[in-house]
Amino acid sequence: MYGYSGVQTELCVTAADTDLTRVRGGIQSGGDSKIALYCYWRSSSAWRVRIALAHKQLPYEYRAINLLQKESKSEEYTKLNPMQQIPLLVIDGHSLAQSVAICEYLEETRPQHPLYPSDKCITSFNPPACIVPASYLHRTGIVPASSLIDY
């Protein structure tokens, strides 16, 4: 199956209750070779990060966090992410939350297959690729998946 950038990848959709750890992606260059993405399969923010990872052809370990079973509230996950939100990217010895910040970090540290145009003039007039889906999705009434759950 072909991913966002035409790169052959596996589609990263799983059942909500599946305990899943898989390695996804293509080539690896720069930084630590181990990247782990903690996410919930229905999260638009998690999709944004998966699209960026696929576009940059970065292999990663997918770690499913089932929000319906409150796995983001577990002691183990809270140690990684005190905010208890998804997605969370563990990379280069850092735990990064918030999908736009994750995309920015990937762009700065993994320059291959850039997310933004190389022409700085064009980039200055266009919002970053990760922000456009974020603002559009929230404007249309899609709320974060975690807000749908009664804690």
CATH number at residue 116: 3.40.30.10
12: in domain: no
Q: How confident is the model over 27-32, as a mean pLDDT? A: 41
CB 54 within 8 A of CB 9: yes
Is residue 56 included in any domain, yes or no?
Answer: yes
Asked whether residue 49 is domain-assigned, the answer is yes
| Residue 10 contacts residue 1 (beta carbons within 8 Å) | yes
% residues pLDDT > 70 (the chain)? 59
- 81 lies in a domain? yes
* Residue 4 resides in a domain: no
CB 3 within 8 A of CB 46: no
Residue 80 belongs to a domain: yes
Which domain, by its residues, includes 43? 21-148
Burial class (CB in 10 A: 0-12, 13-18, 19+), 118: exposed
For residue 8, pLDDT over 70 is answered with no
Q: Does residue 68 fall inside a structural domain?
A: yes
Is 61 within the bounds of a domain? yes
Q: Per-residue pLDDT for 82 more than 90?
A: yes
Number of domains in the chain: 1
Q: What is the pLDDT of residue 60?
A: 96
pLDDT tier, 13 (very low <50, low <70, confident <90, very high otherwise): very low
